[in-house]
C-alpha cells in the first residue's frame, strides 16, 4: 500500500511563502509522475503543478506560473511545492498525487492512482 504524506501547510500573509512536502511512504514505489492539486471551498479540485519524475519536466497551471515551483528529492522520496508571492485566492486544501501510468506531467486528476490526505493553506 502506498501512502502520500503531505506537510508544510499553514497560514501566511499575502506575499508570503510556504513549502509543501509530499513523502511517498513506500520506497519501492517509484511514481513516473507526481502532481499537486488544490480545492478551495465551493470550488472544484484543480491541478496546480506536475512533474515527470524521470525527465523532471514540469507543468504549471497559469494561475501559479512564475510563483510556484515543483521539485523532487529522490533520496528522500519526496516531492515539494514551493509557493511564493502567495495570494488570498491560493487559499485551499492542497493534495499531492502519484501515478505510474503517465510519463509526462499531467494535470488530469483521473490519471493519478494515489492521493495524500491534504494540507490546508490559508493566505490572508
Q: What is the pLDDT of residue 29?
A: 79
Q: What is the pLDDT of residue 70?
A: 98
Q: What is the pLDDT of residue 87?
A: 98
Bridge pairing between strands 119-123 and 10-12: parallel
Q: What is the pLDDT of residue 28?
A: 76
From the number of C-beta atoms within 10 Å of its C-beta (0-12, 13-18, 19+), residue 28 rates as exposed
Q: What is the pLDDT of residue 92?
A: 98
Taken in order 69, 66, 85, 10, the sign of the CA dihedral is: negative
Nearest Cα residue to 91 out of 40, 18, 36: 40
**Mean pLDDT for back-to-back runs of 10 residues, the chain (124 residues):** 92 98 86 96 96 94 98 93 98 97 94 96 98
Q: What is the pLDDT of residue 34?
A: 96
Amino acid at each position: 500500500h502506498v501512502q502520500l504524506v503531505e506537510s508544510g501547510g499553514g497560514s501566511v500573509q499575502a506575499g508570503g511563502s510556504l513549502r509543501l512536502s509530499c513523502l511517498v511512504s513506500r520506497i519501492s514505489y517509484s511514481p513516473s509522475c507526481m502532481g499537486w492539486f488544490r480545492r478551495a471551498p465551493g470550488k472544484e479540485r484543480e491541478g496546480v503543478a506536475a512533474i515527470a519524475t524521470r525527465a523532471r519536466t514540469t507543468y504549471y497551471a497559469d494561475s501559479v506560473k512564475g510563483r510556484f515551483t515543483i521539485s523532487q528529492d529522490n533520496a528522500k522520496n519526496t516531492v515539494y511545492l514551493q509557493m511564493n508571492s502567495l495570494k488570498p485566492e491560493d487559499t485551499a486544501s492542497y493534495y499531492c498525487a502519484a501515478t505510474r501510468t503517465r510519463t509526462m506531467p499531467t494535470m488530469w486528476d483521473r490519471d493519478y492512482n494515489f492521493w495524500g490526505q491534504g494540507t490546508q493553506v490559508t493566505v490572508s
